[in-house]
Amino acid sequence: MNDFVQPMPSLKNQFDDDELLKSFLKIKIPEEYQKEVFTNLSNFGQRVVGDILLMSKDAEENPPCLVQFDCWGVRKDELKTSKGWKDLDKVSAEEEIVRIGYDKKFAHYSRMVQFSKLYLFHPSSAFYSCPLAMTDGAAKLIELYGDEQLKLKAFLHLTSNDPETFWTSGQWMTEKSGGSDVSRTETIARKINGKWKLFGIKWFSSATTSQMALALARIEDESGQTIAGSRGLSLFYIELKKETGESNNIEIIRLKEKLGTKALPTAELKLNGTDAELIGSIGDGVRLISSMFNITRLYNAVTAVAAFRRILTLAKDYSSKRLAFKKIINQHPLNVLILAQAQVDFHACFHLTFLISEIIGNDEVFTTDNSLKLNHEEISKILRLLTPIVKLYTAKKVVTWTSELLEVFAGVGYVEDSGIARLYRDNQVFCIWEGTTNILSLDLLRALKKDNSFSIFKKMVHQKLQLITSTELKAEVQKVFMATEEVERVLEIKTKRDECELEGIARDLAFSIGNIAAATGMLEHAAHANSPKNAENIVKLFLEKNLSQIGKFDQARFEKLQEVIS
């Protein structure tokens, strides 16, 4: 009889067991905050492998379902969610995952603390992190552009730590006619008896259980005319229920059958005269909502890195327990190679993402003696430049590495009840959610052109690197300096050429700048870490590759490529 039982991979306290996060925070967070932050994260690190993990299991095992009609044929559109999903909402409020970013208790370190908490939460949250992303984005937008009424109502709900009053928000942009190209939005806003009412279909609305949403719509004047394109789009605030508790004329057409993120209800909605309030000026909708999706894009990055850490942790733990060909598999050279390469890329993603937590923190709570030693305008421009990069970079890495690391588990990784198959399906969303890799690459070009922000980014990188005096890291520091020169040189040439050439290198540019930013964070950490040897080894391995990866792209090559796919 075969009675062999393979010991399972297991998870320990997700903060106490995270040497990288602890070391990073120890270096960055001032003494005065450390005790409170470390205690809070350590307690939370235990919860995410305890009660919170059980909530997410319940949410995954009991996905949402839609009851559209009662037995008499009356339309109900009742969205049923599990107890686990509801409890995750409560935990999010109590643990202040959104609030930490707004109460600014840790001054310009507030976002860093918040991102750390989100990073611990996400892999045990059944993607409750998605509603939280939009909630945070909505809070930011209202903080920037909301009127007093919205600030006194919605903002307080979105940033509440009381489960009874906490609200989540949806972000309703995507329509059948345009996911990436939002300018094709067809939803109409009509003024009827002095009030805005929306009519149209929103094609991908996650967090359908939210109390509010921010939506784009095209204003129709009294003669039925609209302005085409994105300049015709305005931003609206919607509450999903009327004061009576009835639906605000919103029909749930159906829930999406998605590849992954099955616990998260994502619906197609019909707005059938939905009461709405205009935010900001008419025609300014895309610009305003960008302040929301720039936050959700950062959530995308933090959660992608968190998901990367979860599968890597499980793969390393499993590799220390599984025997094959007379050796524990973490002794086999090919597996060592895979795990080490994944670890190096994981560190790059971590440092890139947590570098941006420092940048956004300093942007939101600006002081002249800020840790970046830049003025406010410079910090804002670097934030704008790095946001699309951090999103696309981490998303692509986690998707690639999830596939590779699944192989470590072989057949068990391919079956549902190992949980690995679910990670594989779920993680694919990081490249889709909040904009695809190509759209984010084009957004980088938008930022580069508008702000000339690469030279400011270069200034930040150089300032950080100049502080690294370790002779051990001298060659590596030099390599990053040279990579910034190389990207700058390419940009100078390419911005003078036609649009097609610049678009053709947009992805390469994004990954090159991402590599430079990640390497800067890794070097800074290695220079200050308590036990620097491992951090030095990791950054050296990372810098074995070329940071600047900009390939050849010109009109002749483009024509050749077009022929190839014809």
The residues binding ligand MFK (CB under 6 A) are 127, 130, 173-174, 179-180, 182-183, 204, 206, 230, 258, 261, 264, 266, 286-287, 290, 293-294, 429, 432-435, 439, 443, 446
Residue nearest to ligand MFK (CB): 230
Residue with smaller CB distance to ligand MFK, 258 or 316: 258
User: CB-wise, 180 or 478, nearer to ligand MFK?
Assistant: 180
Q: Decide the pairing of beta strands 188-192 and 212-219.
A: parallel
Write down the residue that tokens 């996060």 correspond to: 21
- Rank residues 182 and 506 by Cβ distance to ligand MFK and give the closer one: 182
Token duo for residue 527: 């220079």
**What is the closest distance, in whole angstroms, from the C-beta atom of residue 266 to ligand MFK in the complex?**
5
CA dist 410 → 8, 324, 421 (Å): 14, 12, 11
The CA R_g of the chain, rounded to the nearest whole Å, is 24
Smallest gap from residue 269 Cβ to ligand MFK (A): 13
313 neighbors 305 (Cβ within 8 angstroms) = no
- Smallest separation (angstroms) from ligand MFK to the CB of 442: 6
In angstroms, give the least distance from the CB of 483 to ligand MFK: 25
Nearer to ligand MFK, 26 or 258 (CB): 258
> At its nearest, how many Å lie between ligand MFK and the CB of residue 475?
36
How far apart CA 439 and CA 231 sit, in angstroms, is: 19
If the CB atoms of residues 131 and 504 are measured against ligand MFK, the closer one turns out to be 131
| Token pair listed for 537 | 């080894």
Q: Which is nearer to ligand MFK, 230 or 418 (CB)?
A: 230
Q: How far is the CB of 7 from ligand MFK (least distance, A)?
A: 32
The C-alpha atoms of residue 494 and residue 552 are separated, in whole angstroms, by 11
Q: How far is the CB of 212 from ligand MFK (least distance, A)?
A: 18
Contact 265, 81 (CB under 8 A): yes
Contact (CB, 8 A) for 524 and 354: no
Classify 25 as helix, strand or coil: helix
546: left (phi over 0), alpha (psi -120 to 50) or beta: beta
Q: Which is nearer to ligand MFK, 384 or 479 (CB)?
A: 384
**CA end-to-end span of the chain:** 58
Residue type, 279: I
- Sole residue written with tokens 């094959």: 324
Q: State how far Cα 295 lies from the chain centre.
A: 8
Q: How far is the CB of 110 from ligand MFK (least distance, A)?
A: 21
Give whichever of 101 and 232 is closer to ligand MFK, judged by the CB atom. Answer: 232
